[in-house]
Amino acid sequence: MPLHTEPVGSLPRPRKLQEAFAAYDAGTIKYEDLVREQDAACLDSIRRMEATGSPIVSDGEQRVSSFATYPLADTLSGTGVADHLALDGQYFAIFTDGHHRQLPRLTGGPFRYRTYASQYVEKAMKMATKPLKQAVIAPSMLALLYPLDGEVPGYTREAFHEDLVNECEKDIRQAFKAGAKRVSIDFTEGRLACRNDPKNPWTGRKMLPGFIALNNRVLDRFTAVERKNIGIHTCPGGDCDSTHSADVDYKELLPSMFQMNAGYFLIQLASEKDKERVYKMIGENLRKDAKGVKQVALIGVINPQSPRVETPEEVCADIMLASKYIPVDQLGATDDCGFSPFSIDVKPKHPSPDVARDIAFEKIGNRIRGAAMASDRLGV
Ligand SMILES: [Zn+2]
């Protein structure tokens, strides 16, 4: 069987769709008008991703406010926000270009998702002819909705965590039930948790072990057979062509990360300075038996923040080098991150969001070709 290759999930939203999100926030178009643009963008995303030859596709996350906030609100400005949430929560991340993204703040319980990822899968299933993947948000990210210190009146942190674990499990189960073949959990906060940035207090609280334990509470509710198709995505952030934690050494994260009992990992690597060192680290820490499942590492071979299109030969070379350290039956390829995890993103290093979409499909196509070349050379 050739090396597995799959996307992280998101694609830049067409300019027209980004304008529709803004118009919906401003109250100048109706919800149905926004949905019509989302439908068109999802269909275009699926058709073009299928045309790259990708064995598994996504809807490009064209409907979501962001990879982290889709369960909570319809838009990034908070239109349609879920119950018991105020819009003045802590910064999830401060990026190197100076911009930040903020989370809502929990004001009471019980905590319930307003939207589950399965609602996107149901719609995408009607459009796709190839297997679909769906990304969901990690409980460790949503744990940051609870204020860092003190207690929400009438709703303990423990009670919130129990509700959160239940909702995340439901999100994943429903996505599979709706037809997703693979579900990956976005875990960008993992690397950021090692950053210790005084401007962003939660990153200095040594929260990584708690994140790993919380995520395992969800993963451990699934059988080994189910977890084979449940992944974890790590990256140093990818928003407006900027990162939030690229300066954190992978040695702070990877040994703990592979303690999560997921079946596969989507790992940013194309934009990493010393790839070989990280391949080696992955080989040393990837588990052959994570509670009954052999973990697979999909290494990042495409940088979604750069408009330069990697060649199939470059992709193949990365995979061949990684195969020196990672067993071939535990190796695959992916993109470093989604191409636009947040709905409003003009992709500033690109000529426009629409051109960034064209470039994304070229890059995905070359990942598929490069992975096929490596599979040939490795005889798999
Ligand atoms: Zn990412």
How does DSSP assign 149-218, residue by residue? SS-BTTB-HHHHHHHHHHHHHHHHHHHHHHT-SEEEEE-THHHHTT---TTSGGGGS--HHHHHHHHHHH
Question: How many whole angstroms from 355 Cα to the centroid of ligand 1?
Answer: 20
Backbone φ and ψ of 102, nearest 5°: -115, 145
* pLDDT value, residue 52: 98
User: How high is the pLDDT of residue 273?
Assistant: 95
Q: What is the 254 CA–ligand 1 centroid distance (Å)? A: 15
Ligand 1 midpoint to CA 239 (Å): 9
Q: How far is the CA of 234 from the centre of ligand 1 (A)?
A: 6
Residue 187 Cα to ligand 1 midpoint, Å, equals 8
Residue 1's pLDDT is 83
Query: Distance, CA 301 to ligand 1 centroid (Å)?
Result: 13
* Distance between Cα 155 and ligand 1 center (Å): 31
Contacts with 257 (C-beta within 8 Å, 6 or more apart), sequence order: 187, 190, 212, 232, 234, 265, 285
User: Distance, CA 107 to ligand 1 centroid (Å)?
Assistant: 28
Model pTM?
A: 0.98
For residues 27, 30, 35 and 38, what is the CA-based torsion angle, rounded to 10 degrees?
A: -40
Dihedral angle computed from the Cα positions of residues 260, 195, 342 and 61, in that order, rounded to the nearest 10 degrees? -10
Instruction: List, in order, residues 6 or more apart from 372 with CB less than 8 Å away.
Output: 2
Residues 127, 43 contacting (CB under 8 angstroms):
yes
Pairing relationship of beta strands 264-267 and 230-234 according to DSSP bridges: parallel
- Please report the pLDDT score of residue 107 as a whole number: 97
Q: How far apart are the CA of 337 and the centre of ligand 1, in A?
A: 4
How many angstroms does the Cα of residue 183 sit away from the middle of ligand 1?
15
CA 233 – ligand 1 centroid, Å: 7
The per-residue pLDDT string of the chain (380 residues; one tens digit each, 9 = 90 and over) reads: 899 999 999 999 999 999 999 999 999 999 999 999 999 999 999 999 999 999 999 999 999 999 999 999 999 999 999 999 999 999 999 999 999 999 999 999 999 999 999 999 999 999 999 999 999 999 999 999 999 999 999 999 999 999 999 999 999 999 999 999 999 999 999 999 999 999 999 999 999 999 999 999 999 999 999 999 999 999 999 999 999 999 999 999 999 999 999 999 999 999 999 999 999 999 999 999 999 999 999 999 999 999 999 999 999 999 999 999 999 999 999 999 999 999 999 999 999 999 999 999 999 999 999 999 999 999 99
Please name which of 216, 149, 162 lies closest in space to residue 187, comparing C-alpha atoms. 216
Domains, the chain? 4-378 (3.20.20.210)
Of 212, 171, 216, 220, which is closest to residue 191 (Cα–Cα)? 212
